[in-house]
A and B are shown apart, each in its own frame.
Chain A
């Protein structure tokens, strides 16, 4: 059964702008899928519907068999605990260390401290930031900050990883490195959905590509 499926999903923002029109697709567990399209095509909106940051105006969004578009507000936190989100403009907390930033998702879910610390270090190790754990995120470079966001997204071992333009504002070498990281997570069984407009990055990876154009899936 698909881990993620959209059927006839529509999203209209207040003011009448129709961001998504009749979107239908399904993603199998363990798949890695690229979502592409011009800016304003609806990539970010589509990802937001999966995480219930926005609600669809029609159709159904199923995540792990749960209908997100009809979900009670109280159930949403538990949906998000199984999603790793790397969103554009996502903030790091500059009032605490790199380590504490990665700890946050585990603290929020009430993980026992010792086990949480072990997992946080493992996640930092995977993105190559373990030796910077005591640093303040403000001292990290743009690429390192993006890696920290990824570590935070994967620390609670989500089944699905969603990334929105994770390589924007990074130079080509860094972008490639970040994309390799997503591939690595996919290889250990995580379902990955990456929205990007960078055709070069998509081109060499031979994964399924969903293309959005003015809110329609091509």
Chain B
């Protein structure tokens, strides 16, 4: 047991000193893995941000119901009653044509334009808040309201959010595919690195086997090597993504300001970061395992 622990310590120390002996090659390996992991990771981070944004928007699904221009008070009351009575309507807000015009007037630059108008071109409107963010409900109510008399147009305000949502779905699939592919790349990189390491240590492995080293003893350092490569690669990927998000945020700031938003890309939370590190370490281990299984058999002498 003590010998076993001692060898684990020794393997780890050897692996680290081996890294230190060829810092440039190690750096390149780590960088390759880092870049490979950072692509799906960055995509994941950006998607996560967009998702929480879209969730915020679509939690308040709304329909705007515009009446015809010549609707009178009675028509408005009748429609209000119909809207209130519909299933799945949570709240109703009436925006009268005069109020709408007044609001529009407050928009800078619009006042002068509106003053030139002889009559108010805006219709009366209702803003209907739905009970659930269910796209089917929105579709059903949209059709239902359109068929009401004196209703000119129904606009689903959440339609673009739903479009965003399905785009995000596409994005998620893309990131998943990318992640799978580059995970395979990570395994391939460690596989090859370990293969080269086995070749350079060919003599040592052969001698160790001849003087009674067990298979586990010979293999252990390579498992450490693979896992550490994966782990360092994961760290590099996190660093790359942090820097990339910082750069993007710098450009995003003025853009978001134009929309009166303080939207910023947030980095992954600590649990997600830890999961990424664990994942890349495990993939590195798998690469090492495959490489060791394939290449050590050739020099193991019985």
- Interface size of A by CB at 8 A reads 27
Cβ-neighbour of A108 out of B4, B206, B217, B302 (below 8 A): B217
Query: How many positions in chain B have a CB within 8 Å of any CB in the partner chain?
Result: 21
A54 and B302 within 8 A (CB)? yes
Min CB distance A72 to B, Å, is: 11
Whether the pair B213, A77 counts as a contact (CB closer than 8 A) is yes
Do the beta carbons of A90 and B207 come within 8 Å of each other?
yes
Query: Contact between A108 and B215 (Cβ–Cβ < 8 Å)?
Result: no
Q: Which of A75-115 contact B (CB under 8 A)?
A: 76-81, 85, 87, 90-91, 93, 104-105, 107-111
Q: Is the CB of B301 within 8 A of A53?
A: yes
Q: Is the CB of A93 within 8 A of B212?
A: no
B4 touches A91 (CB 8 A): no
A107–B211 CA distance with the chains assembled, in angstroms: 10
Task: Decide: A80 and B211 in contact? CB cutoff 8 A.
Answer: yes
Within 8 A of A (CB), among B249-302: 301-302
* Interface: B181 (CB within 8 A): no
Q: For chain B residues 186-215, which have a beta carbon within 8 Å of chain A?
A: 203-204, 206-215
Please name all residues of chain B whose beta carbon is closer than 8 Å to the beta carbon of A54 when the two chains form the complex. Answer: 302
The answer on a CB contact under 8 Å between A108 and B204 is: no
Q: How far is the CA of A195 from the CA of B244 in the complex (A)?
A: 67
| Shortest distance from the beta carbon of B257 to any chain A beta carbon, whole Å | 60
Task: Name the residue on A nearest B213 (C-beta).
Answer: A108
> Contact: A91 with B212, CB < 8 Å?
no
- A11 CB within 8 Å of chain B: no
Inter-chain CB contacts under 8 Å: number: 59
B203 touches A108 (CB 8 A): no
- B210/A85 in contact, CB under 8 A: yes
B301 A105 Cβ-Cβ under 8 A: no
**Interface contact B302-A73, CB-CB below 8 Å:** yes
Check: A1 CB closer than 8 A to any chain B CB. Answer: no
Q: Does A74 contact B (CB under 8 A)?
A: yes
Cα separation A80 to B210 with both chains bound (whole Å)? 7
Task: Provide the bound-state CA to CA distance between A93 and B203, in Å.
Answer: 7
Asked whether any CB of chain B lies closer than 8 Å to the CB of A43, the reply is no
Chain B residues near A74: list those with CB within 8 A: 214-215
Check A110 against B208 for contact (C-beta < 8 Å). no
Q: Is the CB of B207 within 8 A of A104?
A: yes
Q: Given that A91-B206, A107-B10, A109-B3 are contacting pairs, would A52 and B302 also be in contact in the complex, using a CB cutoff of 8 Å?
A: yes
Q: Closest CB-CB distance, A119 to chain B, in whole Å?
A: 14
B69 → chain A, closest Cβ, in Å? 90
Would you call B84 an interface residue if the criterion is a C-beta within 8 Å of the partner chain's C-beta atoms? Answer: no
A197 to chain B, nearest CB (A): 23
Say yes or no: is A163 at the interface (Cβ < 8 Å to chain B).
no
20 further interface pairs, Cβ-Cβ under 8 Å (given A85-B210, A104-B208, A108-B208) = A52-B302, A55-B302, A74-B214, A77-B212, A77-B213, A79-B212, A80-B212, A81-B212, A87-B210, A91-B203, A91-B206, A93-B203, A93-B207, A104-B211, A105-B211, A105-B212, A107-B10, A110-B7, A152-B211, A156-B211
